[in-house]
Every structure is written in structure tokens, then in C-alpha cells.
Amino acid sequence: MKPGSEILIIDDDPRNIFALSAVLRAKGYQCRSVTGMKEAFGLMRTEKNIGIILLDMMMPGIDGYQAIPMIKATEGYEHVPVVAVTAQAMAGDRERCLAAGANDYISKPVNIDELQAVLQSYQ
């Protein structure tokens, strides 16, 4: 993540966005958030300062598994890390997210120390 870049949170639940944004801002990160992939792709066409994407995997419409290859195919986002965020913590879920193209995986409820460690690994 380049200095000064933002974290894009994509989640259909405003409560998750609020909680993640509040914690990340308190830690000094700058965040943007959207509630769906249509809105995300609109933002990605104009915003080139996104350094990492936190992506909810279970959204209506285009879910995270479908979205990751589309994100990676978007000009300027080929190398932006995508962290899969999911409430599903079943055996094989991490591997499924990584196979879909996610760079990393964290489960909900999000452990703040784990999230910060993941974010720092991309700085």
C-alpha cells in the first residue's frame, strides 16, 4: 500500500462498513466505502488512489468470488491487494477465497490486531 493511499471497503452491510471504517480511521488509515460492486466499479474507474481493498465475499448480486477476477482485470487495479472478508469460517473457505484471486483472508467478526497485521504486510 503506497503512502497516502486509501482502503476501499466493499460490504453490503452498513454496520460492517461503519465498524471497519471507525477502527481503521482511529488507526490512522484513510478509507472509502461502497455497498455493492456496481458502485465499487464506478469508483474504481475514477479513483486511482486505492491501495488495498477489503471485500465482503457474501454480497447479493455480484459476490466476492465473482468480483475478485473483475477487480484484477480493471485497469490500474491489477496489483492492488484484495483481502477477502467473510463470516464463513468453514474448512476450505480460506483456500476458496485465495483460489478466486484474493491476496489474503480474514473472517468476521474482524479481529483488529489480525486486520492491522494484514494491512501492514502490504505496506
The per-residue pLDDT for range 38-80, each reduced to its tens digit, is 999 999 999 889 999 999 999 999 999 999 999 999 999 999 9
What domains does the chain contain, in order, with CATH numbers?
6-120 (3.40.50.2300)
Q: Tens digit of pLDDT for each residue in 3-45?
A: 668 999 999 999 999 999 999 999 999 999 999 999 999 999 9
Global confidence as pTM:
0.94
Q: Cell 503512502 maps to which residue?
A: 3
Report how far residue 37's alpha carbon sits from residue 70's, in angstroms, rounded to the nearest whole number. 10
Q: Tens digit of pLDDT for each residue in 73-90?
A: 999 999 999 999 988 667
Q: Which of 97, 24, 95 is nearest to 64 (CA)?
A: 97
Q: Which of 101, 117, 53, 41 is nearest to 80 (CA)?
A: 53
Q: Which of 41, 37, 31, 32 is nearest to 75 (CA)?
A: 41
**Percentage of residues in the chain with pLDDT exceeding 90?**
78
